[in-house]
Amino acid sequence: MVALLRHWRDTLTQYSSLIPYAILGIIAGLISALLVLAFNQSIELLAELLLIESDADGFEALPRTLHFALPVVGALVLGLLFARVKPEHREVGLVHVLRRLNTNYGALPGVNLVMQFVGGTIAMATGQSGGREGPGVHLGSAIASLFGQRLKLPNNSLRILVACGAAGSIAVAFNTPLAGVIFAMEVILCEYTVVGFIPIILAAASAQVISHYLRFGDPIFTIPAVGITSVAEVPLFLALGICCGIVIGMFIRLVRLFSRFQNLPVILRFLAGGVLTGLLALLVPEILGLGYDSLNDIMQNNIALTALLLILLCKLIATSFSCGMGMPIGMIGPSLVMGACVGGVFAIISPNLLAEYGPQPLLYVVIGMAAAMGTLLAAPLAAMLAVVELTQTVSIVMPAMLAIIAATLINKELFKQDSAHQMALRRTRHLMPQDPLNQLLHSTHVSSCMDINVKNVPVNLAPDTEKSLRRATPKWCLIERDQQPLYLVRGSDLIMWLDENPIAQDTQDDGEAGAGATASENDNTPRDISNTTVQRLAVTTIPVQASLRQALDALQSKDAQAACVYGRDTSRNKTILGVVSLHTIEDFMLHDLKKANKTSHADT
């Protein structure tokens, strides 16, 4: 079993190993689906204990005093809970996943997973204005990452596992496996490759199978087939997209504004979010919780125009403030509600403007949801496929495309900002580079550039060790003191220096030895080679699971020229497996650029 696992690890270092990555995708989809379903069930169970009906979303039926008291008490409990952990363990949600994907190469910690599960459950069950899809993405990605870390899989495979977990969580949340796949590629990996698609598709499919088999609850949305009735509706779709772009642009700007208060104590921040949500809920209780019951009412055209505008305004303020304060809630669900409110306004006015064509009011609600979600995440393709899967209607693609692009352009050009998670990463200076070269370094294991012809050499070199060194003639010699690496030299340079600087033999009493004679073979006195004049390379250390991106980051952060790759032998002792130099990584990058240019010229 151990040998099989070791072989599997070695195979996963090759990014083109389709079968092992396919197996990873299936496993990641299964475990992410189980955890996300458990999370959703925990929200509903806690809500039932609090006497909240309708799948943890029936807050409107509660007494008016609880509309204020419940989110305030819930926020206080969350504040006390989060105050007991270290600041780095309070970070949760999609932003946390993306930051760890970039700075920790896909290694997500278990403590943050627990905080997201417990904190998200309390937040959603006590009516905080947020969504559970963002927490679900964190949970799915984290459990898949922890699975890979437990098996000590290479870090380039952890990236795929994180994306598989995210795809599985979206597939379970909305019953949209295809949208889950594109979400993982657009938002998590930011790349489209065959090797990436295969495990992610399998993850979304396996998560969907688990969701259907366990049958937890009814689908969130039941949307009948809808479609465009006339090209005369096109201007309305564009206007709808523009309005959604303005709403989501304001939402992202407010989240960015309120995030400036993140240096305040966590209890004060969370309590402020709960108090504001409670005050707004006294006016509009529909903003509490997920808001999907209100969204279904909007789809059925059961909410008046004034009520739609009030829900939109209060949801916008409550959610942006709570998210800016760092509460463990998501933004995807609220964006759907806000988009539905904008679409609901158009659903009310469209029959009056285009009465002769008989427009379908529900179409505008669905298009508004897609435009808002696509703009919030900067994932237009995922949003478009989501509405196609939800409505089971391909004819909705054209109006969805127009609205999503119009909304995205408004956010980009009018508000001069990116998606919500990209703005958060930029604020903390953790924005992920999305260029192809960086993606290549993340997806390539360090073994692709590693030179294994290296020998450990103690700084106090014994004659026996020197003989072994001369016989081996390694390419690299790692000079060590007390098994701690000092620097790296070329083996040929070190041997040449040893030849040019022999040890002088002590003068004998009988005067037989000459001044320039070398040490005798029976003299085991070690010689100090710390004064060698050969070129030395400063070194740092990286684990065998590292990717080339991790190796390059380690070299740059330590101002080193080479990184020693360490692993464990059968006795669990730390042993050097090879070295990778800055020069070899640069050559690898240059070779890939030349290869890409050659392919581009061949295509033209």
Percentage, residues of the chain above pLDDT 70: 92
Type and span of the H or E element at 181:
helix 177-183
Instruction: Enter the tokens of residue 472.
Output: 């081996």
Q: What is the pLDDT of residues 269-278, one digit of tens each?
A: 999 999 999 9
Lowest mean pLDDT among 1-5, 63-67, 198-202, 413-417: 1-5
Q: Is 520's pLDDT higher than 70?
A: no
On whether the CB atoms of residues 372 and 407 are closer than 8 A, the answer is yes
pLDDT of residue 245: 97
On whether the CB atoms of residues 157 and 21 are closer than 8 A, the answer is yes
| Residue in 1, 136, 124 with CA at minimum distance from that of residue 71 | 124
What is the C-alpha to C-alpha distance for residues 293 and 300, in angstroms, rounded to an integer?
Answer: 11
What is the C-alpha to C-alpha distance for residues 383 and 362, in angstroms, rounded to an integer?
Answer: 17
pLDDT band at 24 (very low <50, low <70, confident <90, very high): very high
Type and span of the H or E element at 361:
helix 361-377
Mean pLDDT for the stretch of residues 335-363: 90
pLDDT band at 72 (very low <50, low <70, confident <90, very high): very high
pLDDT of residue 590: 85
Mean pLDDT for the stretch of residues 5-19: 83
Mean pLDDT for the stretch of residues 481-497: 91
Per-residue 3-state assignment (H helix, E strand, C coil) for 261-310? HCCCCHHHHHHHHHHHHHHHHHHCHHHCCCCHHHHHHHHCCCCCHHHHHH
Q: Is 207's pLDDT higher than 70?
A: yes
Q: Is 373's pLDDT higher than 80?
A: yes
Lowest mean pLDDT among 146-150, 298-302, 412-416: 298-302
Q: What is the pLDDT of residues 90-119, one digit of tens each?
A: 999 999 999 999 889 999 999 999 999 999
pLDDT band at 218 (very low <50, low <70, confident <90, very high): low
Cβ-defined contacts of 391-397 (< 8 Å, 24+): 391/223, 391/224, 391/225, 391/226, 391/366, 392/225, 393/225, 393/226, 393/227, 395/227, 395/228, 396/226, 396/227, 396/228, 396/363, 396/366, 396/367
pLDDT of residue 315: 97
Residue scoring higher pLDDT (121 or 573): 121
pTM surpassing 0.85? yes
The residues that bridge with 581 in the sheet, in sequence order, are 562
On whether the CB atoms of residues 337 and 85 are closer than 8 A, the answer is no
On whether the CB atoms of residues 109 and 90 are closer than 8 A, the answer is no
Mean pLDDT for the stretch of residues 413-423: 93
Cβ-proximal residues to 94 (8 Å cutoff; 6+ apart), any chain: 134, 137, 138, 187, 330, 421
What is the C-alpha to C-alpha distance for residues 179 and 299, in angstroms, rounded to an integer?
Answer: 21
Mean pLDDT (the chain, rounded)? 89
Grouping H, G, I as helix, E, B as strand and the rest as coil, residue 90 is coil
pLDDT of residue 31: 97
Grouping H, G, I as helix, E, B as strand and the rest as coil, residue 179 is helix
pLDDT band at 507 (very low <50, low <70, confident <90, very high): very low
Mean pLDDT for the stretch of residues 400-407: 96
On whether the CB atoms of residues 130 and 124 are closer than 8 A, the answer is yes
Amino acid at 387: V
Instruction: Enter the tokens of residue 317.
Output: 């303020």
* CA distances from residue 270 to 40, 132, 215, 260, 496 in whole angstroms, order as listed: 22, 17, 34, 14, 67
Mean pLDDT for the stretch of residues 364-379: 95
Lowest mean pLDDT among 48-52, 95-99, 542-546: 48-52
Mean pLDDT for the stretch of residues 566-575: 73
pLDDT band at 501 (very low <50, low <70, confident <90, very high): confident
Mean pLDDT for the stretch of residues 66-87: 96
Q: Is 204's pLDDT higher than 80?
A: yes
pLDDT of residue 505: 54
Q: Is 518's pLDDT higher than 70?
A: no
Phi first, then psi, for residue 290 (nearest 5°) are -65, -40
Cβ-proximal residues to 195 (8 Å cutoff; 6+ apart), any chain: 15, 16, 18, 21, 160, 443
Sheet strands side by side (includes 539-543): 539-543, 562-568, 574-581
Type and span of the H or E element at 460:
strand 460-461
Mean pLDDT for the stretch of residues 261-267: 94
pLDDT of residue 355: 79
What is the C-alpha to C-alpha distance for residues 53 and 241, in angstroms, rounded to an integer?
Answer: 34
> Would strands 460-461 and 527-528 be described as parallel, antiparallel, or unpaired?
antiparallel
Q: Is 487's pLDDT higher than 60?
A: yes
Q: Is 551's pLDDT higher than 50?
A: yes
Compute how many other C-beta atoms are within 10 angstroms of the C-beta atom of residue 588.
Answer: 18
Q: What is the pLDDT of residues 124-136, one digit of tens each?
A: 999 999 999 999 9
On whether the CB atoms of residues 36 and 168 are closer than 8 A, the answer is yes
Lowest mean pLDDT among 466-480, 496-510, 573-587: 496-510
Sign of CA dihedral 442, 444, 446, 451: negative
Domains contained in the chain, CATH given: 2-222 (1.10.3080.10), 231-263+280-427 (1.10.3080.10), 445-501+521-594 (3.10.580.10)
pLDDT band at 604 (very low <50, low <70, confident <90, very high): low
What is the C-alpha to C-alpha distance for residues 76 and 64, in angstroms, rounded to an integer?
Answer: 19
Q: Is 519's pLDDT higher than 50?
A: no
Compute how many other C-beta atoms are within 10 angstroms of the C-beta atom of residue 152.
Answer: 14
What is the C-alpha to C-alpha distance for residues 533 and 514, in angstroms, rounded to an integer?
Answer: 26
Q: Is 215's pLDDT higher than 80?
A: no
Burial (0-12, 13-18, 19+ Cβ within 10 Å), 333: buried
Burial (0-12, 13-18, 19+ Cβ within 10 Å), 479: buried
Sheet strands side by side (includes 476-481): 454-458, 476-481, 484-490
pLDDT of residue 571: 56
